[in-house]
Amino acid sequence: MEDEREQPDALAIKADRKPWLVVMPLDTFLKMVKE
């Protein structure tokens, strides 16, 4: 059985001297916007 922590809802990426970039499925984003 897979651990739920191994399936994140979003991924945060940081590049040198750049702001954070968050990648997530569109459905997850739309649910967050509605709340």
pLDDT of the residue at 8: 81
The span from the CA of 17 to the CA of 7, in Å, is: 28
Which SS3 state, helix, strand or coil, does residue 1 take?
A: coil
User: What are the average pLDDT values for consecutive 10-residue runs of the chain, which has 35 residues?
Assistant: 71 95 95 91
Phi, psi (rounded to 5 degrees) for 33? -70, -35
pLDDT of the residue at 5: 64
Nearest partner of 8 among 20, 23, 26, 27, judged by Cα: 23
pLDDT of the residue at 19: 97
